């Protein structure tokens, strides 16, 4: 069972890293489209939080900054959203499988 657990853990770590990267790209795209200062820093802070509080804080911060359609990239935005949701699903399934392997292994 060790090899299975190792594969699951590696998948978990890769999925988590990629998810953080894609989420930061999405936040950077949105911050640029709304004319917020320091979009990359905002993206790093928003996506880098452990429990999603950064994303919620970003949603509160961006209120009062309407979207500028000239700076927006709707197709890229959609692709990033779909990829983020997909990776989150992979993360969730991998985490559940890891727990099940640990429980059955015991």
For residue 18, the minimal CB distance to another protein (Å) is 14
- For 79-106, the DSSP string reads HHHHHHHHHHHHHHHHHHHHHHHHHHH-
Of 13 and 81, which has the nearer Cβ to another protein? 81
Q: Which residues, numbered 19-78, are part of the site for another protein (CB under 8 A)? A: 23, 26-27, 30, 52, 55-56, 58-59, 66-70
Q: Is 92 in the site for another protein (CB under 8 A)?
A: yes
Residue with tokens 């999405």: 26
Would you state the torsion angle of the CA atoms of residues 68, 74, 77, 78, taken in this order, to the nearest 10 degrees? 150
Of 10 and 65, which has the nearer Cβ to another protein? 65
Which residues contact another protein by CB under 8 A? 23, 26-27, 30, 52, 55-56, 58-59, 66-70, 81, 84-85, 88-89, 92, 96
């Amino acid at each position: 069972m060790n090899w299975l657990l190792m594969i699951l853990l590696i998948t978990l770590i890769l999925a988590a890293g990629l998810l953080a990267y894609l989420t930061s790209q999405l936040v950077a795209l949105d911050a640029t489209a709304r004319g917020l200062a320091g979009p990359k820093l905002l993206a790093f802070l928003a996506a880098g939080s452990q429990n999603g509080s950064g994303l919620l804080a970003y949603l509160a911060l961006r209120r009062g900054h309407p979207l500028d359609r000239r700076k927006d990239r709707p197709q890229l935005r959609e692709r990033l959203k779909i990829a983020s949701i997909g990776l989150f699903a992979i993360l969730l399934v991998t985490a559940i499988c890891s727990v099940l392997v640990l429980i059955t292994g015991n």
